[in-house]
Chains A and B, each alone.
Chain A
Amino acid sequence: MKIIACIKQVPDSEAKVRAEGGQVSWGDAPLVINPFDEYAVEGALQQKEASGGTVTALCVGTESAKEALKHALAMGADEAILVSDAALNDLDTVGAAKVLAAAIQKIGGADMVVFGRQTLDNGAGLTPAQTARVLGWPMLGLAGQIKVDGGSVTVERVLEEGRQSMKANLPAVLSVVQSIGEPRYPSFMGIRKASKATIPVWSLSDLGASAPAPIVTRTELMNPPAQETATEMITGETPAEIAEKLADKIIAEKVL
């Protein structure tokens, strides 16, 4: 089976992200593989172990995103490809889906494409379904379990309402959620292999594609309103006394 795991590079989740001078700033926080995409790589590697084949990590980004791809290689991916082009700076999700679909077609022969459920930066969670739509392949979203049987794949989809079993023919696009299992740590051998790997960089012309014009654009960036919370500590001699005072305060706020 040929599996492609799509990943993105984002600022570390601990980063203090702020709007500064119309730009998003994350200070000196490191850029890392999008945490949700680690589950995508994990899910892809599980399928490789179950059915044999290869895992290719694919990323659209700047040169620095090679580090995120190296993380996927260190986890066990067989190869990594970066799509990078100065014309891709203003991609929206439809644009990203078109570029990814073109790269998936160029890689060729994929049976399964696996995404994380969303990215930590934009957080829209649209790209997996849009990539499926551009490719014309079935979309199985929010998979917590994946089972391949011959030419078809069955996933257990994790919804707020419950778990739903869905089946589609391969090739298919999947997005995975945390229930897929904790992403494995890169092994020592994996890290060594990743550090030596040469990661091909494809430009738009390598893909035979032009830069998609962005349809969704940002007009303003803001920091959330400062929290002007003056915390009032409730104290008392006994839990009952504290609870009594706290209950009065909550009721007085008229939020119930």
Chain B
Amino acid sequence: MKTFVYIDHFKGEVQPASWEALGLAKSFGTAVALVFGTGVDEVAKAAVEFGADEVLVADDSSLTDYRAEVYASTLSALASSQSPNLILFPTTARTREMAAMSAVDLNTGVLTDVSALEVNGESFIATRPIYEGKVLEKTVCSGKPVMATIRGRAFPKPNREEGKSGTITKVSAAGEAKSTVEGYSASESAVNLGDAPVIVSGGRGVSNNPNITPPAGMDEKQAEVWRAQQGFALITDLATLLGGAVGASRAAVDGGYITYAHQVGQTGKVVAPDLYIAAGISGAIQHLVGMRNAKLIVAINKDADAPIFKQARYGVVGDLFQILPALTEAMKKKLGK
């Protein structure tokens, strides 16, 4: 059994679920890692250290910037010449596009957001969420190779063996790009909810602190956003201490308290961290479907009837503006930080 694993990176920064895909591929047999771009030697080396049996590197100026068309054509050409049984990807904005296109080229299909993958003879049975995780389906793909994008943190990450040597083979790029990248501006803070082991999230409730006074001259909306940002600062303190990321409900994003990149839920990101702390989030179904697979859920809300408590293992009915800083302090002490 031969599996291609596409190592997704943005300017050399690898999406960690790429390594999880590599570990999964190893469990099926031979794992061949694919690295596309320019100046990607470090990424190729990391792929060897994470256990790739071979790394195919397409280092070509047409691949410097990710463009779906040329990445897909390069992948399709490699798959046609080497006939893998399976191609795995981490689920990202880029892999959804290039896998989608390559599946058209190869007359096969893509199973997205896969949380379990079983082998049954020659075929693979993937478990994936539909209707935003309200229902799960098992699907099979009759085309060859089978393509699957895996959900982050659904499969174990393999150990890295520093300094391991392995076979790195240069391959050619194929096809033509149909677009140009004109510019790029990085996010103010990198938000990677999909890979975060801990997420602390805030909702509409973070703007309700009556004990702080906004600076003079703000209108009502500005004052609300200002209050919310003070609330999110408390959330950020706890998230930072626990090595986690900051999440938000749709209400908080719609209110302009925080950017869309932080949104957890149906129209945001579906996450499954080890620990999810929801503060000031009432728990609309659209939010719950996005976080209910967290291993441990803690809810802090002043409304004892908030639906979020039904999903939580531990609940606190109280004022998040008092509980959050106290929790940060208690954690700091107990974790010796």
Where the two chains meet, the residues of A that have a C-beta atom closer than 8 Å to any C-beta of B are: 11, 13-14, 16-19, 24, 35-36, 92-94, 97, 120-130, 132-134, 137-142, 154, 158-169, 177-179, 215-224, 227, 229-235, 239-240, 242-244, 246-251, 253, 255-256
Contact = CB atoms under 8 A, between A and B. Distances in A.
22 contacts: A93-B110, A94-B103, A120-B266, A125-B112, A133-B104, A139-B97, A139-B178, A161-B13, A166-B67, A166-B182, A167-B180, A178-B267, A216-B140, A221-B136, A222-B138, A224-B292, A235-B316, A235-B317, A242-B326, A243-B326, A249-B314, A253-B295
B93 A255 contact: no
A130 B187 contact: no
Interface stretch (B56-64, B163-171, B305-313): B305-313
B237 to A, nearest CB: 13
Nearest to B322: A239
Given A159-B10, A166-B179, A240-B326, A231 B138 contact: no
Interface of B: 10-11, 13, 67-69, 72, 92-93, 96-101, 103-105, 107-113, 125, 129-143, 178-187, 190-192, 197-198, 242, 260-261, 266-267, 274-275, 285-286, 292-293, 295-298, 309-319, 322-323, 325-327, 329-331, 334-335
Nearest to B144: A215
A83 B178 CA distance: 29
Contacts of A244: 326, 330
Contacts of A35: 267
Q: Which 9 A-B pairs have the closest CB atoms?
A: A243-B326, A138-B178, A216-B109, A129-B100, A239-B322, A247-B330, A168-B179, A220-B138, A126-B100
Contacts, number: 257
Counting chain A CB atoms within 10 Å of each CB, which of B138, B266, B325, B326 scores highest? Answer: B326
Contacts of A17: 131, 134-135
A134 B99 CA distance: 14
A162 B260 contact: no
Given A126-B112, A216-B109, A222-B138, A234 B315 contact: yes
A247 B331 contact: yes
A243 B10 CA distance: 39
Nearest to A233: B315
Contacts of B266: 13, 120
Contact of B296 (A127, A178, A255): A255
Contacts of B298: 246, 250
Nearest to A241: B326
Contact of B182 (A13, A122, A154): A154
Contacts of A243: 323, 326-327, 329-330
Main DSSP-derived SS at the A contact region: mixed
Contacts of A142: 93
Given A122-B130, A124-B113, A215 B108 contact: yes
B295 A255 contact: yes
A177 B311 CA distance: 29
B51 to A, nearest CB: 26
Given A16-B134, A123-B129, A215-B141, 14 more contacts: A11-B131, A128-B100, A130-B100, A141-B93, A160-B92, A166-B67, A227-B292, A229-B310, A230-B313, A233-B314, A233-B315, A247-B331, A247-B334, A256-B198
Contact of B135 (A162, A216, A224, A246): A224
Nearest to B68: A139
B109 A92 contact: yes
Given A126-B100, A243-B323, A250-B296, A233 B317 contact: yes
Contacts of B139: 216-219
A74 B109 CA distance: 35
B126 to A, nearest CB: 9
A224 B129 CA distance: 9
A255 B313 CA distance: 13
Contacts of B331: 247, 250
A58 B198 CA distance: 42
